[in-house]
Amino acid sequence: MKLLISIADTKEIPAALQGGADIIDVKNPAEGALGANFPHVIRQAVAATPPPIPVSAAIGDVPNLPGMVSLAALGAATCGVHYVKAGLYGVRTANDAVKLLRAVCQAVRAHDAGIRIIATAYADARHFNALPPLELPQVAADAGVDGCLLDTAGKGTGSLLTNLTESQLLSFVSQCRANQLLSALAGSLQAEDIDRIRPTGTDIVGFRTAACRDGHRQGIIDPQRVKRLKALVDPDKSPSSALWTAASQPAGVPDR
């Protein structure tokens, strides 16, 4: 598994790298689970992250407005990121989700075909009538995106593991693998949850709250907390420096 650490400000990048993050994820927690950060922050994050480490950017908990969302995705793509993540918050059906994601793919790939597009569904989708999370792998395959992420939208509606069973997560990851999609799991996860996540075989596991000082999502990234997460996610590797070799890149991520 690769360790993704979500940062809200470029000042948090050194702590994330010192702790051993494999992927730097740029988002704005003040605007939601996948809140979009400002273009200048994303560009600065790309510039501040050593080239072996890929950077992802969230474009928001998006409504069912393909034109607007594809424009946002293109904006993120022009900032030099490796991944663009779209949260299917306002999308209710699989057909609508496929249409929206195809629009995102068209916009992003016309700019840079090497950027990976990650579709995100929410484990707590039943609370706001969004796309059922276990439908995401088939939607992603039909839309032609590169990967799937499960997260939680309402941080007061429980974690990934309180909304979905471990067998459901295993099925999700298996469906992703069958469709040759990257899989990623996040959603208010804590360090002690890693032993329950590892058997799923997911490619990526993501954290913010558990990586922040005092465990507050609105806090700042703590390198020691990240280091602990890294040791649990990948016990065979301990961060010996802020830079990782190119061998630590996720499969399919182009060197940039």
Catalytic residues: 27, 85
- Alpha carbon dihedral 28, 189, 50, 26, in 10-degree steps, equals -10
* Residue listed under structure tokens 């996720």: 250
Among the listed residues 101, 118, 53, 61, the one whose alpha carbon sits nearest the alpha carbon of residue 249: 53
**Sign (positive/negative) of CA torsion 194, 88, 139, 77?**
negative
Q: How far apart are CA 189 and CA 33, in angstroms?
A: 13
